[in-house]
Chain A
Amino acid sequence: MTTPTDTAARERTRASGADLKAAFLAASSWLNANSDRIDALNVFPVPDGDTGTNMSLTFQAAADALRDVSDQASVGDVARVAYEAAMLGARGNSGVILSQLLRGFSTALAQETDLTAPNLAAALAEASVVAYRGVSKPMEGTILTVARLTGDAAQAAARSESTLSAVLDAAQRAATEAVAATPTQLEVLRKAGVVDSGGEGYRVIVEAVWMWSTGRSLEQAAESHPHSRALLEGVEEGGSTYGFCTEFLLRECTMPAEDVKTTMEALGDSVIAVGDANLLRVHVHTLRPGQALEFAVDHGTLVKVKVDNMQLQNEAFAAARRAPPGADVPPSTSVGVIAVAAGEGFAEVFRSMGATVVQGGQTMNPSVQDILAAVNSSGYKELIVLPNNSNIVLTARHVDELTPHEVRVVVTSTVPQGVGALLAFNFESDLETNVAAMEHAAHAVHTIEVTQAVRDAEVDQVAVRAGQMMGIYDGDVVAATESADDAVLRSLDHARVDALEIVTIYYGAEATDADAQALASRLREGHPGLNIEVVAGGQPHYPFVVSLE
């Protein structure tokens, strides 16, 4: 990236499309470097916080697309490419909102050749306006507030200042203050002792662009910044036959990014190589992470390595590609159903009922493109998407405008709600009738989720200590106990047990059938006559997900 020198940089009043591109690439790297820290800012002390990852992957999609953009492109074109790629790559609610911020930013700059203090400020303001419009019930104390105050501050600064750096400085200060204030606006943040994660993600982006505008290199910043995440995480090279999500940061790379990408593509897939010779971020899914790292060591200074065993995701992925049972049977209806699910058992439950499964859920939210691909290859003209997670609802809603298929989203926040909705699917009904029936059915299902707290917190009036099992009833933490069984039993006190027709215990990857049977026995002891079924869900992080119908 072209990093202007210090003083000259600070006095600039005008920047080209190539400069904006460099700024975006810097922001992508910076967001990536901060993503784990942002992930940790989860209100719920659950191990699936993913705002940082979602925003980072969304922005990375934009950065990746920008690498093909000519240096002669206008700032309007650069911003448009960034927005379009981010929209397709958007993951999670925060990713979708980020793509909307970029949409507003690019709309404001559409006719501009160069970036100036006034149009930059206007673009930051418009970003916030468009993002607010994209959310049905905007809440203060979130990324929206941070974006709005950032835009306001930029516009105020642009009235008196003419340099880009001065506008960005005002913007990043406002962003920092806005993020710090989020716990005073949202009670849940205050109780959890965190600032808003999405707002922090946006602040990090603004900060990166500001740093770029002052000529500071990202590396210097990474070394001096108190927040930068731990550089090295353990490298696992187990005997698994499945893939590893391998990421590394390479300094002083002796090879062009394009060639690094080609090399990585020979080792695996999902290759991303962004940055330049100074700092190159590489992402690859490979069976041989060792080879990828060896290559890295040979071609530069390996700064940071992260290798995740993707065994679970991959097993599930392979199964998703298997033909569903009865695949030779012609479609029974003109309406298809797509369900998002994590865990092979959950995926199988949906597939066994005729739905197409998109892998993802609490730990890895699917992108707009993942769902879009499933829609386009479904063979159905009309489709219903079950997001099965509140953080996937917005992503799913964006699919309709990108495809000739008619796509409707039935809002389901948990897998049991999704199963309940799918059970109500009528093969003989049309799209609208099915959507109405499925929404109704989803609301009739209550869900208990049990997971382990990753830190101390007070959530929903419940004091939780790290390591305790939390019982979550319809999204609210209602119990913190020592055992998963107790968490389920305590959570059940919040349900109208006498009105239940059937209880289904889905046990996760970390629990066994015997564990679930033992839990079922305890439930029967306390509630004789309760109809209980045990099913393997295979979901990560949640030993039990219980459906109450």
Chain B
Amino acid sequence: MTIGVATDSTADLPPALVERYQPTMVPLVVNWDNQTFRDKIDLSTAEFYRRLRTSKSLPKTGAPSMAAFETAFREQLERHDAVVSVNLASGLSGTYEVARRAAESVDPQRIHVVDSTSVSIAISWLVEMAARLAEEGVAVNEIVARLEDARGRLRILALLETLEFLQRGGRIGRAAALAGTLLSVKPILSVRDGEVAPVERVRTMNSALRRLVELVVAMGPIEKLGVMDGDAPTNAAEVARQLQAHYPELTVDRGELGPVVGTHGGPGVVGVAVLLAR
């Protein structure tokens, strides 16, 4: 019995993982100036941020169509006996719900859709875990149970240049408490259990980067660590460097926040993904 793995384009999969396990990636969509782009397929991350910094209009994002998931699942089922699909947090997007309905319509017995409750690199960790366990021959129900255990230990901290994009996209949630500040501050927020929540405000970018590292270090023992950015490679490299110094035994994964996540975070985001040790 073989198990295939699917995900969506917000997983920010590292190339090595794609090459090794070949998970299916279903793209979300970005609508911009009356054009529809498939995330990361019709619109590259680099092109997206170039346009975002200059464009007067703002993009909007949408979940993949049910048909897109159905096609992906059918293809997987031609090669595998079962499929595990790990998707963007249901609290942030309708993607999980669309995937779940597509699974219902294709084959609810063989397709298992898991809510990652997170974004970006953190999803890619779950994808990698699912693919690795599948390769080891672990039963599909056991894989789902392990993913559900691991997702509770995922943490994301993100330092934003501005809350404007999150507000416009309606994904601000409880982090609204950080909004409307009269002073120019850099908000730090968290994604945890599928929800965006406020953490802190810091006055300048330099102190905010430092603070981001402090907040990670304060989390306790860590199993996996990753740094991602939305067109802020220098700041991300600095955070990664500082984290590496704190955790010499860990590999600090790096990732770019793609167009869909970038639409909501805006340019300049530096994020840290953490999988807490058990």
Contact = CB atoms under 8 A, between A and B. Distances in A.
B182 interface: yes
Interface string B190-208: 1000000111111110110
A501 B179 contact: no
A529 interface: no
Contacts of A345: 182
A279 B182 CA distance: 49
Given A427-B177, A427-B198, A502 B203 contact: yes
Interface stretch (A125-133, A306-314, A322-330): A322-330
A423 B190 CA distance: 16
B182 A352 contact: yes
Contacts of B203: 423, 501-502, 549
Interface in A299-351: 325-326, 329-330, 332, 345, 348-349
Contact of B199 (A354, A428, A531): A428
B207 A501 contact: yes
B180 interface: yes
A549 B202 CA distance: 11
B1 interface: no
A332 B177 contact: yes
B228 to A, nearest CB: 20
A4 B175 CA distance: 67
A424 B199 CA distance: 10
Contact of A326 (B179, B190, B199, B201): B179
B181 A352 contact: yes
A329 B179 CA distance: 11
B183 interface: yes
Contacts of A425: 200
Contact of B174 (A329, A352, A502, A531): A329
Interface string A414-426: 0000010001111
Contacts of A419: 183
Given A332-B174, A428-B190, A325 B180 contact: yes
B43 interface: no
Nearest to B175: A332
Contacts of B206: 501
B185 interface: yes
A353 interface: yes
B201 A353 contact: yes
Interface of A is mostly: loop
A502 B184 CA distance: 10
B180 A352 contact: yes
Contact of A501 (B176, B198, B199, B204): B204
B215 to A, nearest CB: 8
Contacts of A535: 182-183
A326 B182 contact: no
A390 interface: no
Contacts of A352: 180-183
Given A419-B183, A504-B183, A535-B182, A326 B200 contact: no
A237 interface: no
B107 to A, nearest CB: 39
Nearest to B198: A427
A345 B182 CA distance: 9
B202 to A, nearest CB: 7
Interface residues of B, number: 22
A140 interface: no
Nearest to A350: B182
A165 to B, nearest CB: 59
Contacts of A329: 174, 176-177
A256 B200 CA distance: 57
A349 B200 contact: no
Contact of B197 (A349, A423, A427, A533): A427
Contacts of A427: 177, 197-200
Nearest to B204: A501
A533 B184 CA distance: 8
A123 to B, nearest CB: 50
B197 A332 contact: yes
Given A326-B177, A326-B180, A332 B201 contact: no
A349 B174 contact: no
Interface string A491-506: 0000000000110100
Interface string A59-93: 00000000000000000000000000000000000
Contacts of A332: 174-175, 177, 197-198
B183 A533 contact: yes
A426 B199 contact: yes
Contacts of B182: 345, 348-349, 352, 535
A426 B179 CA distance: 15
A428 B197 contact: yes
Contacts of B207: 501
A354 B177 contact: yes
Contacts of A501: 203-204, 206-207
Contacts of B176: 325-326, 329
A131 to B, nearest CB: 40
Contacts of A531: 204
Nearest to B185: A423
Nearest to B184: A533
A330 B175 CA distance: 10
Max count, chain A CB within 10 A of own CB: residue among B174, B181, B183, B185: B183
A353 B181 contact: yes
Contacts of B180: 325-326, 352
Nearest to A325: B180
B238 to A, nearest CB: 16
B196 to A, nearest CB: 11
Contacts of B198: 332, 427
A353 B200 CA distance: 10
Interface of B: 174-177, 179-185, 190, 197-204, 206-207
Lowest 8 CB-CB distances: which A-B pairs, in order?
Answer: A326-B176, A325-B180, A427-B198, A332-B174, A329-B176, A501-B204, A332-B177, A352-B182
29 contacts: A325-B179, A325-B180, A326-B176, A326-B179, A326-B180, A329-B174, A329-B177, A330-B174, A332-B174, A332-B197, A345-B182, A348-B182, A349-B182, A349-B183, A352-B180, A352-B183, A353-B181, A353-B183, A353-B201, A423-B185, A423-B200, A423-B202, A427-B198, A428-B190, A501-B206, A502-B203, A535-B182, A535-B183, A549-B203
Interface of A: 325-326, 329-330, 332, 345, 348-349, 352-354, 419, 423-428, 501-502, 504, 531, 533, 535, 549
